[in-house]
Chain A
Amino acid sequence: MDSTLLALALVDLNESEVLKLVKEKIDSGADPATIIKELQDGISIFGERYKSGNYFIGDLILSGELFNQSMKLLEPLLVNNRKVQGDLTKMVLGTVKGDIHNLGKDILAVLLKASGFEVYDLGINIEPGAFVSKLTETGASILGLSGLITPSFESMKETVAAVEAAGLRKKVKIIIGGGVVDDLVREYTGADAFSTDAMEGIKLCKRLAREVRHD
């Protein structure tokens, strides 16, 4: 079986083909880590094409759905599979206090998982203290703060301050995201990076993960 077929089926958003290929690979005894790698390759190719402007949020939603469905098929094989559970970058994610928008955050969460991150998605309307607790509990090195409305800027700023007050700031890189954030907001909140776009967000999270490792 051509190992790129699965990746390409995902890039083509061909739902029936993706699921058929994953099932065939499972039945033939393929290593689940290899299957996940192929799916991740598909997401990666997808990301490159997204940057070119040929794909849209609807396509991101579909690609995430295909990845999730594939992972459900793989789930029984993943229990105690250290090869798969190995060296993932941990990231805490949530929509900040006072904001309940979840759309962009949810898309990002799926794509982060599909890109090799271990994501702790706290949900919406999250207090600064809850972010700090989760960072402490998990040892995550990246924090993603989402918000769509302008009042969320203040909550993002409070959360960054809370991370600082907890003594975690040097160990944690912080990225903010949402439809209206820009460099002015990044500077105001004290975050390390910002993104208005899920695929660019993935790229930035990978960059931040590398920076954390090198610090």
Chain B
Amino acid sequence: MIKETMTREQRLLAAVTHGKVDRIPVSSMFDDFALRQKGLPRQFGGDAEYTARVLQAYHEVYDDLGGYDFQWHAGPGFSYSSWHGCMDMVVNSVPGKEGAVMPEREVLTQEDYDKIINLGWNGFCREFYTRVSGLSIGQIDEMQKKQFSIMQEDRKWWEERGVPILIGGMTMNCEMILSLGRTLTELTLDIYRQPDKIRAVIEAMVGDCIANTLRNARATGIPWANILLARGSSTFYNIPTFERFVFPSIKKMVEAFVKAGLFVNMHLDTNWILNLPYFKEFPKNKCMVELDSTTDILKAKEILSGHVCIKGDVPATMLSLGKPEDVSAYCRKLIDVIGVGGGFILSTGCTCPVDAKYENVKAMVETAKNYYPH
């Protein structure tokens, strides 16, 4: 075991700012994995007893793994899905391996575009959330207050152990909200057929998305804003489309969050390699990208080195089907290469898979704690 000379918070901060670390920080989003480890099925919006069991599962897995360097969120996370209403999450039905998934289901219509332009995103959502959820605004507000209260209570458990929380405020990028609401296929056709309308919609949304995230970050006092980016990459769109419909709102968000004194974590699903050069426009040492193993992490390091911290990216397949020695070897390689010069956090690609083998996850955490050649 490497002798630790930093607190977890210092280690996280040093990684993000490309400072010197005593060892590479390690973490992941362990939600579904933790529940499966503790034999707890995934539900959304469970009662108080279920919520308490969820939190207990997260805490126990933290202890089982011998601790890790930060927790992605306080509270039960996906169990209370009061994010954007269009994030229509369901539970997959593989027995014993239940996890959160997002179906492609059209809940936003073309007619909604004009409403968003006229009302702004928040104004539109007063109607939209009730339409999608079937709940009244009062009920939704009550649910969000309850969620906030549970999160704040759970924070104490983590803070007593010196574990920082990564989510203060969170938003999806505007085009991702539209893509989840319209479906990828419909949004893509809309971008092709009515580009000016889509740009106007995004322009009408971005200010409210920023304001909501800042409000939540201030309320929690956690100095991190998170942007979920799963649909706008070079997997899906060419660079001119990225430049017109994806990047402008990301840039506005990042600049606003940094100006407000926050660090920014961007969760990048799919292949962003052609888009990463644009991330150098963001303020240096203020941002982190979470790569899911689809983006070539070695090339990402070449592009972002010294500017944006990289988090990732043990592949899901390796964690589910591989052996601990495979995981250890992969993690050592990441630490050797991506860890040079700082700005690296070891993690799973995307979330930790629900059916990851415990010994593989343990191998990832242990490698970070025992191997640091720099």
Instruction: Report A's interface with B, CB cutoff 8 A.
Output: 13, 15, 54-59, 61-62, 65, 97-103, 106, 125, 148-155, 179-182, 184-185, 188
> Can you list, as one digit per residue, whether each of B341-360 has a CB less than 8 Å from chain A (1) or not (0)?
00000000000011110000
Residues from chain A with a CB closer than 8 A to the CB of B95 are: 98
Residue A150 contacts which of B93, B104, B234, B320 (CB distance < 8 angstroms)? B320
Kindly identify, within residues 268 to 292 of chain B, every residue whose CB is under 8 Å from any CB belonging to chain A.
Answer: 270
Residues from chain A with a CB closer than 8 A to the CB of B356 are: 150
22 residue pairs from A and B, CB less than 8 Å apart: A56-B235, A56-B236, A58-B191, A58-B236, A58-B237, A58-B238, A62-B189, A65-B189, A98-B94, A101-B101, A102-B103, A103-B185, A150-B353, A151-B92, A151-B99, A151-B354, A179-B270, A179-B294, A180-B316, A184-B321, A184-B322, A185-B321
Q: Are B317 and A184 in contact (CB under 8 A)?
A: yes
Q: Are A61 and B188 in contact (CB under 8 A)?
A: yes
Q: Are B92 and A57 in contact (CB under 8 A)?
A: no
Verify if B184 is at the interface (C-beta below 8 Å from A).
yes
Q: Are A98 and B238 in contact (CB under 8 A)?
A: no
Category for how many chain B residues contact A? 35 or more
Q: Are A106 and B185 in contact (CB under 8 A)?
A: yes
**Complex Cα gap A205–B120 (Å):** 46
Q: Are B93 and A98 in contact (CB under 8 A)?
A: yes
Q: Are A13 and B192 in contact (CB under 8 A)?
A: yes
A149-B99 CB under 8 A given contacts A58-B188, A58-B191: yes
Residues from chain B with a CB closer than 8 A to the CB of A54 are: 238
Kindly list the 9 A-B residue pairs having the minimum CB-CB distance in the complex, ordered from nearest.
Answer: A98-B94, A151-B97, A151-B94, A150-B353, A150-B320, A58-B188, A61-B188, A58-B237, A57-B236
Q: Are B315 and A125 in contact (CB under 8 A)?
A: no
Residues from chain A with a CB closer than 8 A to the CB of B235 are: 56-57
Verify if B51 is at the interface (C-beta below 8 Å from A).
no
> Can you list, as one digit per residue, whether each of B308-321 has a CB less than 8 Å from chain A (1) or not (0)?
00000001111111
Whole-angstrom distance from the CB of B9 to the nearest CB of chain A? 32
* Residue of A with least CB distance to B184: A103
**Complex Cα gap A181–B356 (Å):** 15
Whole-angstrom distance from the CB of A147 to the nearest CB of chain B? 10
A62-B192 CB under 8 A given contacts A55-B238, A99-B92: yes
Q: Are A98 and B92 in contact (CB under 8 A)?
A: yes
